[in-house]
Structure 1
Amino acid sequence: MAKQAIEKHRISIRLACMCMGISETCFRYESKLSAENKQVADWLLRLTQANKRWGFGLCYLYLRNVKGFTWNHKRVYRIYRDLELNLRIKPRQRILRDKPDELSVPTAPNQVWSIDFMSDGLSDGRKLRTFNVLDDYNREGLAIDVDLSLPSARVIRSLERVIEWRGKPAAIRCDNGPEFISGQLVNWATKNRITLLFIQPGKPTQNAYIERFNRTARHEWLDLHQFESVEHAQYLATEWLWTYNNERPNSAIGGIPPKWLMKAA
């Protein structure tokens, strides 16, 4: 308004500032960070387009911890809001329940793994299942095995494949699914001196690490793709798992990717 008054009425800057109630310093101020703001906006747009389910927290942690930018979170959030990138989350009614015992936090890799199944479907209507393996120490996804059916023999084969390059876990936490309580898996675990930690029926919170991983996989991988075949689903699973382990910040371990925690250990 002060600039318009100067141009229209040909008055001095001092008089225009007095009329509008602003200081001359404010009138003459020019932002020095406009170029960096464009860089922040460009990064935010690229991240949200490549990772459609990432919110502000993951975007900021990725820029700060993975890429090494020193931008303040308030500044990044202001630009994030200006670009209207904030996700709308429908609030859910919470049911009061008894607080479960806290899960023990492993202090080293291969102390406890968590395993679980997820279900989805192919474009032709056939049911698809995934077998997920997670190291509770650094929340690293060790495997996502995809197929139409995953019996106990296939579960054992997947675990042995991971053990070949990762090493043997001291214990494996799982629910009471038929594939897990079968004699075949129990005998295999006993033979390899691996303790099976079964959660109580109907208590998925006792297997919270893998349940949280499943939610992320559902949100950022399964819900975003239509699978033409098992091979197509397996390829996308492997691609997403690499991103999850090497680039996606994980707030549970300090906002860094799971692989980074292994390097620091």
Structure 2
Amino acid sequence: MKRRFSDEQIIGMIKEYEAGVKAQDLCRKYGISDATFYKYKAKFGGMNVSDARQLRALEDENNKLKRMLADAMLDNAALKDLGNKKLLTPDVKRRAVRDVMDRHGLSERRACELADLHRSVFQYRKRGQDDVALRKRLRELANERRRFGYRRLHILLQREGVEVNHKKLFRLYREERLTVRKRGGRKRALGTRRPILVPDRANQRWSLDFVSDAFSDGLRFRVLCIVDDYTREALATVVDRSLSGARMPRELEQLIRQRGQPDMIVSDNGTEMTSHAVLKWSQDTGVNWHYIAPGKPMQNAFVESFNGRLRDECLNEHIFGNLAEARRIIETWRIDYNTERPHTSLGGLAPAVFANLNRAARPASLELRMGSAQQALTVTKSTERNRNGFYT
């Protein structure tokens, strides 16, 4: 509240009183009551102007300290209401700021400072977004591809022309409870590792390995997996009750008639791989057969990775009643793996799409445009359909 007289004017009144002017005359002159004059006299009596200024400065400082103490006590009470738990997300901080403002009457600025939240974030209002169609399509793709995580689902949505930020897709993926449960543990190699050499063209190196599973009646069957290490294509998945060493050259000859002869084949030291039939075939054809070190499956990493995907996305998903059913389901999955399934090491392209782009002498970088990939995907489906006689 602004005072009527300054400190200098009040001291001037007191000086006049001390000089002999009566109090009643001073009160009449300045228009104040007797009580007000004597209050001025009690407070400023014996002071000069400099003393009054110092007193005013001390009073202002004292009032400032009182306000600071009151603010600190109020902030302390507000912090206690916020609790000891960290406020991590903006939504949680917004709720905490509103609660503090309602309980303690704090301003928006002070409440945001206590919650470590910028005022622009507090004032932000979410725009209404209709994600119903996106959520529905995400659930449909997740039901079709039960072992795909949100990254591969994101690639599939991009192929359909749905542009969505990967962070938003992950949030929707979590809210829809589509998280894939991990199966089993992962064995990690100890000691030093030497990186495997990656070929730079198709048919430069193939990898072979076996996978086994069982029918519903308990009888076992085996799958011979052949993978091109450059294009990551699954060249063949031969399914039978028994796959001997004499059978392997016949399957390789059939595959070579379709795709051409590789420079090298990599495999482990299984009895089928080291049989006389395989060694004689390798010598007759001139194909260099390389055996990995015993107990070092990471040296045959490409086909081992394919085996893991085959086990996780196909063999564990189905119960096979007989050999014909197993061959049909596994071959259908192989075609889908080559033509549809995104491969992260190929920039999200399917292996056969990448191979077609490479054969057409187009840039085989991981930054290929999705339009070219979609066109190559159509060509790849037609090729696989003609080669195998069916496609589902």
Same fold (TM over 0.5): yes
Q: Could you tell me whether the CA contact under 8 Å between 1:40 and 1:76 is conserved in 2? A: no
1:154 Cα deviation from its structure 2 partner: 1.6
Q: Could you tell me whether the CA contact under 8 Å between 2:146 and 2:180 is conserved in 1? A: no
Aligned to 2:274: 181
Q: 1:58 to 1:147 in 2, by over 3 A?
A: same
1:79-101: CA deviations, max 9, x gaps?
A: 11110111243784765602321
Question: Where do residues 48-59 of structure 1 align in structure 2 (5 Å cutoff)?
Answer: 48-59=142-153
Q: Could you tell me whether the CA contact under 8 Å between 1:112 and 1:171 is conserved in 2? A: yes
1:184 and 1:96 map into 2 onto residues whose CA distance is 33
Cα RMSD of the aligned pairs, angstroms, is 2.3
1:155 Cα deviation from its structure 2 partner: 1.3
Aligned to 2:336: 243
- Three-state SS of the structure 2 residue aligned to 1:227 is coil
Match of 2:285 among 189, 192, 198: 192
1:244 Cα deviation from its structure 2 partner: 0.5
Is 2:134 the counterpart of 1:40? yes
- Three-state SS of the structure 1 residue aligned to 2:342 is coil
Question: Where do residues 74-85 of structure 1 align in structure 2 (5 Å cutoff)?
Answer: 74-85=167-178
Aligned to 2:154: 60
Match of 2:319 among 218, 226, 244: 226
Aligned to 1:106: 199
Aligned to 2:213: 120
Aligned to 2:310: 217
Q: Could you tell me whether the CA contact under 8 Å between 1:100 and 1:205 is conserved in 2? A: no
Which deviates more from structure 2 when the two are superposed, residues 145-154 or residues 82-91? Answer: 82-91
1:200-231: CA deviations, max 9, x gaps?
A: 01100000100000000000000011111111
1:63 Cα deviation from its structure 2 partner: 1.9
1:67 and 1:172 map into 2 onto residues whose CA distance is 37
- Three-state SS of the structure 1 residue aligned to 2:246 is helix
- Three-state SS of the structure 2 residue aligned to 1:242 is helix
- Three-state SS of the structure 1 residue aligned to 2:341 is coil
Which amino acid is 1:195 matched to? N
Q: Could you tell me whether the CA contact under 8 Å between 2:342 and 2:350 is conserved in 1? A: yes
1:162-187: CA deviations, max 9, x gaps?
A: 11111111100000000001111111
2:203 and 2:221 map into 1 onto residues whose CA distance is 28
1:92 and 1:240 map into 2 onto residues whose CA distance is 24
1:94-127: CA deviations, max 9, x gaps?
A: 6560232111111110000000001111111111
1:109 and 1:185 map into 2 onto residues whose CA distance is 22
Match of 1:136 among 229, 233, 249: 229
Return the TM-score normalized by structure 2.
Answer: 0.58
Q: Could you tell me whether the CA contact under 8 Å between 1:100 and 1:206 is conserved in 2? A: no
Aligned to 1:10: none
- Three-state SS of the structure 2 residue aligned to 1:248 is coil
1:98 and 1:104 map into 2 onto residues whose CA distance is 19
Task: Extract unaligned runs of 5+ from structure 2.
Answer: 1-100, 109-118, 359-392
Q: Could you tell me whether the CA contact under 8 Å between 1:116 and 1:210 is conserved in 2? A: yes
Which amino acid is 1:132 matched to? C
Which amino acid is 1:50 matched to? E
- Three-state SS of the structure 1 residue aligned to 2:133 is helix
1:45-95: CA deviations, max 9, x gaps?
A: 11111111111122112222x334321101111111110111243784765
Question: Where do residues 85-104 of structure 1 align in structure 2 (5 Å cutoff)?
Answer: 85-89=178-182, 92=185, 97-104=190-197
Which amino acid is 2:145 matched to? N
Match of 2:256 among 158, 163, 167: 163
Q: 1:185 to 1:118 in 2, by over 3 A?
A: same
4+ long deviations beyond 3 Å: 18-23, 88-96
Q: Higher strand share goes to which structure?
A: 1
2:156 and 2:309 map into 1 onto residues whose CA distance is 16
1:30 Cα deviation from its structure 2 partner: 4.2
Q: Which has the larger radius of gyration?
A: 2
1:19 Cα deviation from its structure 2 partner: 7.3
Which amino acid is 2:156 matched to? Y
1:144 and 1:95 map into 2 onto residues whose CA distance is 27
2:266 and 2:253 map into 1 onto residues whose CA distance is 16
Return the TM-score normalized by structure 1.
Answer: 0.85
Q: Could you tell me whether the CA contact under 8 Å between 1:129 and 1:146 is conserved in 2? A: yes
Aligned to 1:15: none
Aligned to 1:154: 247
